[in-house]
Amino acid sequence: MNHLDNSQSISSKLLTLQSEPALLQAFYKIDTQVKQNLAKVLAAFRAHRVGTHHFASVSGYGHDDLGRQTLDRVFAQIVGAEAAAVRIQFVSGTHAIACALFGVLRPGDEMLAIAGAPYDTLEEVIGTRGSGQGSLKEFGVCYQELSLTQAGEVDFDKIASSINEKTKLVLIQRSCGYSWRPSLSIPDINKIIHLVKQQNINTVCFVDNCYGEFTDSREPTEVGADLIAGSLIKNPGGTIATTGGYVAGRTDLVEAAVCRLTAPGIGTSSGATLGEARLMYQGLFLAPQMVGEAMKGNYLIAKTFAALGYEVSPPVSAPQREVIQAIKLGTEQKLVSFCRAIQKHSPIESYVSPVPSDMPGYGDRLVMAGGSFIDGSTSELSADGPLREPYVVYCQGGTHWTHVAIAIEAAAAAVGPASNEPASD
């Protein structure tokens, strides 16, 4: 089959998938959840009397920044937490997570990763890779990791035996990250927290919430998590927050985390919004809708590539638990071809051809398509993956599912069915 025939075949198959009643039913279910989450956001805005005066710019130290202080309270109410700190000074989700870990843990404490190996960018934070940069390991924090089961799921049966009196913090990574496992559901997180607290009531249950915000009607802090953290250029920024991240949870733990962002004694009392407050408020308002569109796009990606014979995670029959859809492509060539097709159908820098390269914080070379309006925003459609077997591409975000449909039609044509070699780029 030549490239033109292959493209026409893929296009025909995709149009068929888009017309299936099952697709419309799945989309309606997602829209219903969007409505529930939007109602939570509106209730918080209403309760804290958000007005245009909260958008005023504050510079310098950011003392008495009314917009920042109110946004913290709004965010805390939405996620069901005692307190929150939403800051543009967090440069990424990894930065927010690192501040939380360094804020809570002390020399001699033990940290347990409960869902297998954490995301690649946390390896140097923890100290399992690299040296000389002030990792947790270099500060005397012990690290343990509970392996996943053969099915790639949390080993609930071994949680109790993995917790001891020195286990100060349990890291619960909600997203699959760059691993081939199901993302954790809110009931999964609730069960983990229950088992941990049964064994040691003082152990802090900390959830890396990246990619998971608004994908359920509840957040981890509403089912017992002591602390959560994430990025604003992922779900809660609604695709328009230009930078930043957040921590939320128990008041003392939030303060401890932000003392690592600023300094002890300063904590949450500072941090100028620098004219970004309006975008953070508006992004939070848009977030449930943007997350819903990404989830629709993920469902369409799963349907399309499963029909082409590829293994996908989550499978079509499973609910979407985050804004990531993984496809096991099998070869480096297909991974690169897929990302190049996505980039070509992105609104920004469509003329750029992604090439595998090293990136700060990652142990493997990556190939990444990210033609987004905000650099690194994974709320907008992107696709990336590490160049290692089995060559999985991770599709993320999407401001509207119709854009996803256009881009993945091209990506499907570029890689072809699972049994074929990829077409030319």
What are the extents of the domains in the chain? 3-37+288-415, 47-284
Average pLDDT of 268-274?
93
The answer for residues whose C-beta is within 8 angstroms of residue 358's C-beta and 6 or more apart is 365, 366
Angle between helices 332-344 and 401-415 (to 10 degrees): 140
Helix (H) or strand (E) holding 71: helix 66-79
Residue 1 has pLDDT above 50, yes or no: no
> What is the 8-class DSSP label of residue 208?
E
Query: What is the per-residue pLDDT for 204?
Result: 98
Share of the chain above pLDDT 70, in %: 94
Closest to 230 (Cα-Cα) out of 71, 82, 378: 378
CA distance 302 to 17: 11
Residue 6 has pLDDT above 70, yes or no: no
Query: pLDDT of 389-400, one tens digit each?
Result: 999 999 999 999
Query: pLDDT of 229-250, one tens digit each?
Result: 999 999 999 999 999 999 999 9
- Report the CATH architecture of 47-284: 3-Layer(aba) Sandwich (3.40)
CA distance 208 to 97: 7
The highest-confidence range among 103-107, 117-121, 315-319, by mean pLDDT, is 103-107
The structure's pTM equals 0.92
Average pLDDT, the chain: 92
The helix/strand/coil state of 117 is coil
Task: Please say whether the beta carbons of 178 and 145 come within 8 A.
Answer: no
Query: pLDDT of 304-363, one tens digit each?
Result: 999 899 999 999 888 888 899 999 999 999 999 999 999 999 999 999 999 988 877 777
| CATH 3.40.50.1370 for domain 3-37+288-415 | no
Positions of E strands within 250-317: 311-313
Query: What is the per-residue pLDDT for 378?
Result: 84
Query: What is the per-residue pLDDT for 334?
Result: 96
Residue that wins the pLDDT comparison between 297 and 364: 297
Average pLDDT of 15-44?
87
Which strand ranges, in their side-by-side order, compose the sheet holding 142-145?
Answer: 83-87, 245-249, 227-231, 204-208, 167-173, 110-113, 142-145
